[in-house]
Structure 1
Amino acid sequence: MATHYGTLADAATYHEERGNAPWAASTDPQRTSALVRASEWLDGVYRSRWPGQKAGARAQVRDWPRINAFDAEHNAIASDEVPDEVERATYAAALRELGKPGSLSPDVVLGQSKVLTAVKGIVWTPLRSFATTEDMAPTLTEVERVLSGLIGSRGATEFLVRA
């Protein structure tokens, strides 16, 4: 039963090709922990956007592999496959987690969330009262880019046409 997406060897290659020295400077247990946290984060953030359904239903720990899954270009994804995009997104997110464990899933108190709205005189403005935890979650542009060929865009709307 896989606890994370990808492999340590493939993660090492991914980070070496990108010159991400902190990955090479860490230990295998640190890397494995970062991969587990990154995989959990990906599943939690992207679960509603993944195509298809879990191949192993509820007994399956990770969201992938999946059945009835297609990529953004409508190419079928095998029911025993974890797409390369998911593995690469895991490696990208794991680097963030390696540098600062827990940074992908920060605790937030929505009623106390605020943004800096003026620098001169330092003015903080509370976020709207209907902000959600999703509004406060970090967005990793590299992960979004890597997954773009697999998932639809956030907030995409499908239109139904009456025939």
Structure 2
Amino acid sequence: MYGTVAGWITYAGLRGLTVADTAASAQALVRASDYIRTRYVMRFLADYDDTAPEVEEATYIAAAFELTTPGFWATTFTPSQVKVLTEVKGIKWTPVTSGKGDADDMLPTSPAIEALLVPLTRWGMPAVSVI
């Protein structure tokens, strides 16, 4: 598990949020840690590991979602659910993707977590041009 309930209480308190020291909070933190580990930490570049300070902060952000909506990060989507109406006359839908082109397009995401952790992953690597 990344972080502690006590650390999360402090983190939340500084932001005007309340987290209680309960079993539900501990369980939310465990589920959030699972999400952060499997979605980001496993994809870290060789220079980073789960001791990077961004991991704990991202886990606290994820845990807040898990506390209010247990199972939030485990939500399953099908490609047909992730679409946007792009034409009305002929009723046309266009899939919405992250551009990564993988199963991650079907997972819930947080802009704050992405901002903290994507730079530490292979997704955050700049493109290399070969001339």
Measure the CA separation in 1 of the matches of 2:87 and 2:94: 15
Task: State the identity as a percent.
Answer: 30
Going from structure 1 to structure 2, the CA distance change for 1:124 and 1:114 (only over 3 Å counts) comes to farther
- Aligned equivalent of 1:99, options 64, 68, 91: 68
1:37 paired with 2:6, answer no
Q: TM-score normalized by structure 2?
A: 0.75
3-state SS of paired residue (1:139): coil
- Shift, 1:141, TM fit: 1.1
**5+ long unaligned stretches in structure 2:** none
CA contact (8 A) 2:75 2:107 kept: yes
Measure the CA separation in 2 of the matches of 1:98 and 1:86: 18
**Which consecutive aligned stretches of 4+ in structure 1 deviate over 4 angstroms post-superposition?**
118-121
Name the structure with the higher helix share. Answer: 2
- Shift, 1:137, TM fit: 1.2
After TM superposition, the structure 1 = structure 2 runs for residues 150-161 of structure 1, keeping only pairs within 5 Å, are 151-152=120-121, 154=123, 156-159=125-128
- Shift, 1:157, TM fit: 4.5
After TM superposition, the structure 1 = structure 2 runs for residues 1-163 of structure 1, keeping only pairs within 5 Å, are 4-21=1-18, 23-24=19-20, 27-52=21-46, 69-70=47-48, 82-110=51-79, 112-117=80-85, 125=93, 127=95, 132-147=102-117, 151-152=120-121, 154=123, 156-159=125-128
Measure the CA separation in 2 of the matches of 1:44 and 1:89: 13
3-state SS of paired residue (2:85): strand
- Partner amino acid for 2:116? V
CA contact (8 A) 1:14 1:91 kept: yes
CA contact (8 A) 2:45 2:121 kept: no
Going from structure 1 to structure 2, the CA distance change for 1:86 and 1:51 (only over 3 Å counts) comes to same
Q: TM-score normalized by structure 1?
A: 0.62
- Shift, 1:120, TM fit: 7.8
Measure the CA separation in 2 of the matches of 1:157 and 1:84: 22
CA contact (8 A) 2:2 2:56 kept: yes
The Cα RMSD (Å) is 3.2
- Partner amino acid for 2:31? R
**5+ long unaligned stretches in structure 1:** 53-68, 71-76
Number of equivalences: 126
- Partner amino acid for 2:95? L
Per-residue deviation, residues 13-43 of structure 1 (Å, max 9, x unmatched): 000001123x24xx52111111111111111
